[in-house]
A and B are shown apart, each in its own frame.
Chain A
Amino acid sequence: MRQIVTREAITNAGLALLLLVVPLAASVMDEPFYVTLATRITVLALAAVGLNIALGLGGLVSFGHAAFFGLGGYAAGILATHAFNAQPLFLGIQATTSMPAIWLVAVVACGLVALPVGAISLRTSGVYFIMITLAFAQMIYYFAISWPAYGGQDGLSIYVRNTFPGANTAQPLPFFLICYGLLLLGLALFWALGGSRFGAALHTARQNATRLAAVGIAPFKIRLTAFAISAMVTGLAGALFADLNRFASPSMLSWHMSGELIVLIILGGKGRLFGPVAGAMLYVLFEYALGGITERWQLFLGLILLGVVLFARGGLMGLVAGKERYG
């Protein structure tokens, strides 16, 4: 019989609770900075949960997910700018500052971009796939910085945070709770995908594509679907990230961002449900703690990362929750 209360389940529940309790406590103690820090963790974790669908479940090492993260961010920025200036978007359609509508636009836009990008990239595999996803992300990055209508290199400011029905998003805590709710939804999606027939096919596509084809399922379609879903979740996180910073920046599209998203997953534990959450917590805390001590925190981050890759495979989840279990 399948054991329900495993070490991993306890760790997951602990992480989810920690991420909720700390900002609540900080809010009670009137420390909005820590609420914002927790929101940053939550949004980055959601982006990495998205990437984890492609990378962890599907074994597709996408080095271009910043494209979708940035696309989501720009969707929020562009809609907010048009609404702020009361300009219609096109064909007389009015822009909106309502978050659910913005999320929908971000998710659909990412899906529409991910399908052709994925269709070309998935013709290749291995190193080619890594480099091609990187190149496509760079293409979108250069497009964004050379297109002056939406800020070009300067990015796009969101003057007033977008709205959510029934919540005052300008306050840190309600906005955190919205992000936290979406993170839980993202995790639920990852969990449901992993346990579904689709997830089983995706696992098999990673481990042995020939066998999958032999039972009559085309690996290409499975992988493309996973890639698109993964891009959509990351795009949603991008829209939240732009709202968090009130700024859609071209750096969200840069290849450093793609690298950071992979780093989050590996720090936490690849393919694990809560790996991205653990990774985002570690990463943001490193950034905060090291950034407080030294301006050169990236040097130390590099050293820590190198240490994790070389010596601590399995990441934080591997250390705390033990090896991955199947079944």
Chain B
Amino acid sequence: MSTALLIEQLLNGLQLGVMLFLMAAGLTLIFGVMGLINLAHGSFYMAGAFACATVAAATGSFWIGLIASLITAAAAGAIVEMAVIRRLYERDHLDQVLATFALILIFSEGTRWLFGSFPLYLDIPPLLQGAVPLPGGGQYQLYRLAIIGVGIVVAIGLYLLISRTRLGMRIRAGESDREMIAALGVDISTLYTVVFALGAALAGLAGALVGALQSVQVGMGEPVLILAFVVIVIGGIGSIKGALFGAVLVGVVDTMGRFLLPQALMLVLPPSQTALISGALASMLIYIVMALILAFRPTGLFAAQP
């Protein structure tokens, strides 16, 4: 195993983590501010990817597609919030789970209706094609590095938004006492719509970015959604810092587990069993990590609310 391969896998893990962060940040923000568990978040991821692929194919520009994905996901988020989600804030979590599960069925089937069952493909923009040399030999895809860059920019942007702006102040106030800030004259229902649309836009951005690496198809959001749940459970629901930490942890553990476990098991097991066991074990690894963390910290690592 060379150093270059190790660095490459670490970067892959980081890229997965950053992508999970884009999903988890929205989920955790929506839970923290509105107390809502949103299963349909994966649908915004899918909507972003489909919007980007369609617009990029029509205009020939990935960048216009990327803007379209942000607008589509944010608009879908705002519409869904005003039509459905708004009625769920006062309900228990069971009703929220069911209503957003119903939204997934509607979104998935609706997208299949519009676009058919065949996957769409999205090309990496020419500007970001190519590779970067790694220390110790080997190369790394420039596009994946760019995704990591976008994730870092979004993380810093969210931090500044929440700690330095008026909107962020209202979001923080909404987290701690919604009646009080409503009494102070803040239009709480508009604030909720904005937060929901912001979360949806981040998910749409993640979908569009990943769309160029994988095929764009119905149901692509669901595996990512569940990983994002694992992330926010590990990080502590409601905490953006926790989401960032959890996302990078999950991304790196998952990627490195798939890469290192076969090699580690090779030392103790005969080769015929290694592939079998390491494959199964690697796919369970992040859930085992999650169970371990929860066994010691039942509310996650950076719980926002005690």
**Is B128 at the interface (CB under 8 A from chain A)?**
no
Contact of B105 among A61, A136, A305 (CB under 8 A): A305
Q: Known contacts being A63-B97, A130-B93, A148-B276, is A138 close to B237, with CB within 8 Å?
A: no
B95 contacts across to A, CB distance below 8 A = 309, 313
Contact of A302 among B105, B287, B295 (CB under 8 A): B105
Contact, CB under 8 Å: B229 / A303: no
* Chain B residue total in the interface (Cβ 8 A): 43
Q: Known contacts being A123-B294, A147-B276, is A299 close to B110, with CB within 8 Å?
A: yes
Given contacts A123-B295, A132-B233, A303-B106, 17 further A-B contacts (CB under 8 A): A61-B94, A128-B237, A132-B290, A135-B226, A135-B290, A136-B291, A139-B288, A147-B276, A259-B101, A262-B98, A299-B110, A299-B113, A306-B106, A309-B98, A309-B99, A310-B87, A310-B99
A306 to B84 Cα, complex, angstroms: 9
**Is A6 at the interface (CB under 8 A from chain B)?**
no
**Is A203 at the interface (CB under 8 A from chain B)?**
no
A216 contacts across to B, CB distance below 8 A = none
Contact, CB under 8 Å: A134 / B295: no
**Is A127 at the interface (CB under 8 A from chain B)?**
yes
B101 contacts across to A, CB distance below 8 A = 259, 262-263, 305
A131 contacts across to B, CB distance below 8 A = 37, 229-230, 232-233
Contact of B109 among A124, A143, A259, A302 (CB under 8 A): A302
Contact, CB under 8 Å: B298 / A124: yes
25 A–B contacts from the bound complex (CB under 8 Å): A61-B94, A61-B97, A123-B295, A124-B294, A126-B93, A130-B93, A132-B233, A132-B290, A134-B226, A134-B229, A135-B229, A135-B287, A136-B291, A138-B287, A142-B280, A142-B287, A143-B284, A146-B280, A262-B94, A296-B112, A298-B108, A302-B104, A303-B106, A306-B84, A309-B99
B249 to chain A, nearest CB (A): 14
A142 to B110 Cα, complex, angstroms: 27
A208-219: CB near B (< 8 Å → 1, else 0) gives 000000000000
B232-244: CB near A (< 8 Å → 1, else 0) gives 1100010000000
Contact, CB under 8 Å: A298 / B94: no
**Is A21 at the interface (CB under 8 A from chain B)?**
no
A305 to B31 Cα, complex, angstroms: 22
Contact, CB under 8 Å: A132 / B294: yes
Residue of B nearest to A125 (CB): B298
B157 to chain A, nearest CB (A): 26
A262 contacts across to B, CB distance below 8 A = 94, 97-98, 101
**Is B299 at the interface (CB under 8 A from chain A)?**
yes
* Chain A residue total in the interface (Cβ 8 A): 40
A203 to B16 Cα, complex, angstroms: 43
Q: A120, A305, A309: which has the most chain B beta carbons within 10 Å?
A: A309
B99-140: CB near A (< 8 Å → 1, else 0) gives 101111110111011000000000000000000000000000
**Is A270 at the interface (CB under 8 A from chain B)?**
yes
B201 to chain A, nearest CB (A): 23
B277 to chain A, nearest CB (A): 9
B105 contacts across to A, CB distance below 8 A = 298-299, 301-302, 305
Tell me the residues in window 305-327 of chain A with beta carbons closer than 8 Å to chain B beta carbons: 305-306, 309-310, 313
A55 to B93 Cα, complex, angstroms: 12
**Is A227 at the interface (CB under 8 A from chain B)?**
no
**Is A255 at the interface (CB under 8 A from chain B)?**
yes
**Is A4 at the interface (CB under 8 A from chain B)?**
no
Interface residues of A (CB under 8 A from B): 55, 61, 63, 120, 123-124, 126-128, 130-132, 134-136, 138-139, 142-143, 146-149, 255, 259, 262-263, 266, 270, 296, 298-299, 301-303, 305-306, 309-310, 313
Contact, CB under 8 Å: A127 / B93: yes
Q: Known contacts being A142-B284, A149-B276, is A306 close to B102, with CB within 8 Å?
A: yes
A234 to B283 Cα, complex, angstroms: 25
B237 contacts across to A, CB distance below 8 A = 127-128
Contact, CB under 8 Å: B102 / A255: no
B38 to chain A, nearest CB (A): 11
Residue of B nearest to A259 (CB): B101
A296 to chain B, nearest CB (A): 5
A50 to chain B, nearest CB (A): 17
Contact, CB under 8 Å: A136 / B113: no
A319 to B81 Cα, complex, angstroms: 28
Residue of B nearest to A313 (CB): B95
A302 to B298 Cα, complex, angstroms: 33
Q: A149, A259, A270, A301: which has the most chain B beta carbons within 10 Å?
A: A259
A127 contacts across to B, CB distance below 8 A = 31, 37, 93, 237
A132 to B294 Cα, complex, angstroms: 9
Q: Known contacts being A142-B284, A299-B110, A299-B113, is A306 close to B97, with CB within 8 Å?
A: no
